[in-house]
Amino acid sequence: MYDAIVVGARCAGSPTAMLLARQGHRVLLVDRASFPSDTLSTHYIHQSGVACLECWGLLPQIERSGCPPIRDYTLDIGPFGLTGTPPPAAAVEAAYSPRRAVLDEILVQAAAAAGAEVREGFAVEELVTEGERGRRHPRSLARRRRGDREEPDRRRRGRTELARGAPRRRPGLRRVAGAIDAGFSGRQSLELALARYERRRNELAGPSFASTVEFARLQPPPAEMQQLLAALLADQEQANRFFGTFAGTVPIPEFFAPANIARIVGREDDARAAIA
């Protein structure tokens, strides 16, 4: 029986399991892969993420892996390139880009060291629920014990039980550890803690998500953005803050506030001369 079962032991699941285990909860962490294991993914960690690794005591392992620090950014939009150094996250000035085979193994080992039970080669097939007063909540996970990872062997399927105190609204065990701990400890209801976390997460991540979607279109920046980027050539401090919106060290709404953009673009004549 476990307080929480975290399905997926990579860069989201392992820290969640680690933090819950450090807070004294009994945690099972499962993944169909065996580590070290690479995966098709970006593996760039901005300064805000590196600050988390430092807080958890894991940054020295990343540094010892031979992964070089990255401090400067360049955005090439065609006619010119904009270069800058994002403001730090607390005392963290560098970003890192470790291979996932390196990063994920460090995180899995940290979860195990914190007391979480880790099961590799564990492919979840089904979340079993049961009703309670007209609602349904997770009861157990159906999985293969030793079946082939590509072709499930349902004849050898077993079940791993959830504890009675586990989350009963949504099988969202990937929620932030602090909100889960608040619910488990009784400081507030789990449903309220998760709802508050979800609202706060959306407030913080929404602007970054929208920006990422826009850049993923791989289209030339609109005229207004090109005007802003050109103006940033004449203002290195603001160029650094612009790159801080990528690194998570400068809030996007703060940088793109109309008053701030007006101040930057007001120096456009200087920028045009720099380009020429």
Other beta carbons within 10 Å of 141: 22
**pLDDT band, very low/low/confident/very high, at 183 (cuts 50, 70, 90):** confident
Q: Which residues pair with 162 in a beta bridge?
A: 2
pLDDT band, very low/low/confident/very high, at 135 (cuts 50, 70, 90)? low
What average pLDDT does the structure give for the chain? 82
Asked if pLDDT for residue 250 goes beyond 90, the answer is yes
pLDDT above 80 (res 184): yes
Q: What are the Cα distances from residue 144, in Å, to 6, 30, 153, 181, 252?
A: 16, 12, 7, 29, 44
Rounded Cα distance between 138 and 127, Å, is 7
Residue type at position 201: R
Domain residue spans in the chain?
A: 4-43+99-198, 207-275
pLDDT in tens, 13-70: 999 999 999 999 999 999 999 999 999 888 899 999 999 999 999 999 999 999 999 9
pLDDT at residue 219 is higher than 70? yes
Cβ count within 10 A of residue 103: 25
The pLDDT tens digits of the residues spanning 202-215 come to 888 888 888 888 87
Q: Would you place residue 136 in the very low, low, confident or very high pLDDT band (cuts 50, 70, 90)?
A: low
Higher-scoring residue by pLDDT: 185, 233:
233
| Nearest by Cα to 10 from 96, 89, 110 | 110
Residue 211, strand partner residues: none
124 exposed, middle or buried (CB, 10 Å; 0-12, 13-18, 19+)? middle
What is the per-residue pLDDT across 83-101, written as a single tens digit (0 to 9) for each?
999 999 999 999 999 999 9
Buried (b) or exposed (e) across 147-171, using 16+ Cβ within 10 A? beeeeeeeeeeeebebeebbbbeeb
Answer whether residue 138 shows pLDDT above 60: no
The fold of the 4-43+99-198 domain, in CATH, is FAD/NAD(P)-binding domain (3.50.50)
How would residue 157 be classed by pLDDT, with cut points 50, 70 and 90? very low
